Structure 1
Amino acid sequence: MTIDTTAPRFTPDPPVPEQAVAPGRDAALRELLTADPELAAAGLTPLPGTEIDGGSVWLAPVEPGYPACDRWRTLRDRFERTGFWPVLVEEATLHHPHEPETVPGPLDGAAVLTARVTDREYGDPVRAEVDLGDADDPDRYAGFDWADTWAIIGDEFDRVALVPVAAPWLVPARLGWQGACNAGLDGAEHAAVLRRWHHLYRAELLTLGFDTVWLRHLAPLPDRETALAAAYEAFAYCPDAVHQDYGSLDGVAERLLRPVWRLWWD
């Protein structure tokens, strides 16, 4: 497949249903903790100094690997009820917090991606021969859950944060996350891209590291063309995915065929 890097075009963002979730409030969460034994078992406590409009960021330790995946699922399944989105974090994630950012609407992920690749500050992505032979096999990960991957690679993420937001793509802004500051991304740009991918590729925010974003991918990319198109979007959002991490656009595409996606800003 040929990717035209001289005149980038990104498909418009897909229609997004209206969000019915209100950002969580501490008082309501405390009530749930007394009524829901599984939720209470998480050992959540509010982080001092993070309260805004009645909702704080809450934190709890988790055992890395499958236990962390199980705890994340428990908390994610209650998001519509709690208004708190869970993210697995490492100790360094919260070491360089910034002030939480306001995310104005409407969000346009396609416009953000187009502006970033049109700027040309990061050059064009290189291509390389990478085997994408499984890209047309809908059963390539049959029986292989995202947690099977995370149980192997997620050993540094030993705590979970609950973030009061109306939607998961707002988490980096609400935390004032600075992991991509070298690329000049602000909270609204993170929100626009993550919102787009949430609805276009069914990619959910799973983890924030010191300088990484991890997403769990709920549905396989259907073919090589989609994988490469998604890789070009990943390059626009995170040029280091090509230049510092996977080496080529095709290398990124191969990684995006897997159930867990990682983006790393050097």
Structure 2
Amino acid sequence: MTSFLRAPLVSSDDLLHRLRMSFPAGEVERSVTVAGVEVLGVRVPREQARAVWEEWRGRHGRTGWWPYVTLSPPGDATQWHGHAAWDAGVLGRWVGEAASQDHDARAASVLVSACRWAVEEVANVDDDFDLWRSDYDPDRLAPLLAPAVERPLQGVSQWATGTRDFFEQDWRWVNFVAARGGYEVPVLLPRVYTTWGWAGYGDRGLTPLDTSALLRRWHEQWGAELFFADGSYLELVVDRPPLDPRGAAQVAAELRAYCHDTVDDAVKTGDTMARSTMWSLWWD
């Protein structure tokens, strides 16, 4: 365990033992990045992945290890050659900044930057700029949405337990990282999934610190938790999604700013995914 990491409540050896006891017939693996970030995992049937994740999410407060569902074993998460660019010094700075940054302000800056990029780079001279801005301004977007609903819409996993696209295989991995919450995982494992413009070399686009800020904001406001991460795919389980138009507009605007590949219609998203218990995102 490297010095910049928050020590979990149980050691990796202890967690490995618990996983082997809980899944005696399952494949269990442990690996470590060049920066010293340990990843443990167990392979489970696809249809059991959600239940296993829920069980171990419930234990997070007693273990300090955050679970996420993926297609690949820990070795694939840690041995990617690009990790050499993120040594302990780099990740140490990122972890420190993620813990101390004003995540609400950083999340808001992502929204502003996305709006500016859309208006200046994407919209053409014939477009209605007010309509463009409404996609990123919750106050403009809210009046366009349906009235409040009484209960959250039931979200369905497309990739963690579903078979959409390339996810028809029968097995999933539930991997574990020592973190305060799922919002720290993209900082500790910068390639756990990839967003638009993020290649890890400082190019224009979203960074792991932007992602951490947004995930932490959504965690605190809506109970959104990192559930599935693989390649350019992400799913969040949402315990308290917004039911009213203003809250749904905020979520839809922020999801559009974060992932315009998936959220190409802010009104539709505000009436559907934003008010559901599962947010599924994909970057082209």
TM-score by length of 1: 0.72
Judge conservation of contact 1:89–1:161 (CA < 8 Å) in 2.
yes
Does 2:243 correspond to 1:222? yes
| Shift, 1:111, TM fit | 2.9
Q: Which amino acid aligns with 1:250?
A: V
Matched with 1:7 is none
Q: 1:145 Cα deviation (Å)?
A: 7.4
2-structure distance, mates of 1:215, 1:193: 12
Q: What is residue 283 of structure 2 aligned with on the other side?
A: 265
Amino acid paired to 2:101: P
Deviations 1:178-221 (A, max 9, x none): 51153621111110111111111211110112102210010232
Cα separation, 1, equivalents of 2:174 and 2:15: 17
Secondary structure, counterpart of 2:38 in structure 1: coil
Secondary structure of the structure 2 residue equivalent to 1:240: coil
- SS of residue paired to 1:180: coil
CA distance in 1 between partners of 2:122 and 2:256 (Å): 9
Farther-moved stretch of structure 1 (176-185 vs 165-174): 176-185
Superimposed CA distance per residue, residues 75-102 of structure 1 (whole angstroms, 9 cap, x where no aligned partner) = 2122122221111112498496743542
Q: Within 5 Å, give how 1:1-266 maps onto structure 2.
A: 22-24=6-8, 28-34=11-17, 37-38=21-22, 43-47=27-31, 49-50=32-33, 52=35, 55-65=37-47, 67-91=48-72, 94=77, 98-99=82-83, 100=86, 101=91, 102-103=94-95, 104=97, 105-108=100-103, 109-120=107-118, 121=121, 123=123, 124=132, 136-139=148-151, 141=153, 151-152=161-162, 155-156=167-168, 158-177=172-191, 179-182=194-197, 184-242=205-263, 247-253=264-270, 254-266=272-284
Alignment check: 8 A CA contact 2:196 2:259 kept? no
8 Å Cα contact 1:87-1:208 kept in structure 2: yes
Q: Which moved more, 1:160-169 or 1:106-115?
A: 106-115
TM-score for the superposition, normalised by structure 2: 0.68
Q: CA deviation at 1:29?
A: 2.9
Contact 2:157 2:280 in 1 (8 A): no
CA separation in 1, counterparts of 2:133 and 2:260?
8
Change (3 A) 1:23 1:39: farther
Unaligned runs of 5+ residues in structure 2 are 124-131, 136-140, 199-204
* TM-aligned CA deviation for residue 44 of structure 1: 3.1
SS in 2 for 1:59: strand
Is residue 216–residue 260 contact of structure 1 (8 Å, CA) maintained in 2?
A: yes
- Identity value in percent: 23
Structure 1 contact 87–205 (Cα < 8 Å) conserved = yes
Letter in 2 for 1:38: S
Question: Partner letter of residue 113 of structure 2?
Answer: A
Query: Are the aligned partners of 2:111 and 2:253 in contact in 1 as well (CA < 8 Å)?
Result: no
Q: Which SS does the other structure have where 2:41 is aligned?
A: strand
Could you tell me which amino acid in structure 2 is paired with residue 57 of structure 1?
V
Q: Is the 8 A contact 2:16 2:40 kept in 1?
A: no
Please give the alpha-carbon distance, in whole angstroms, between the structure 1 residues aligned to 2:207 and 2:152: 36
Instruction: Determine if contact 1:42/1:71 at 8 Å carries over to the other structure.
Output: no
The whole-number CA distance in structure 2 between the counterparts of 1:255 and 1:35 is 36
Identify unmatched segments of 5+ residues in structure 1: 1-20
User: Does the CA contact (< 8 Å) of 1:149 and 1:259 recur in 2?
Assistant: no
Offset of residue 174 of structure 1: 1.0
Classify 1:195/1:147 alpha carbon distance in 2 versus 1 (closer, same or farther; 3 Å).
same
3-state secondary structure, aligned to 2:262: helix
Question: Residues 155 and 279 of structure 2 are in contact (CA less than 8 Å); yes or no, is this contact kept in structure 1?
Answer: no
Cα distance, 1:119 vs. partner?
3.9
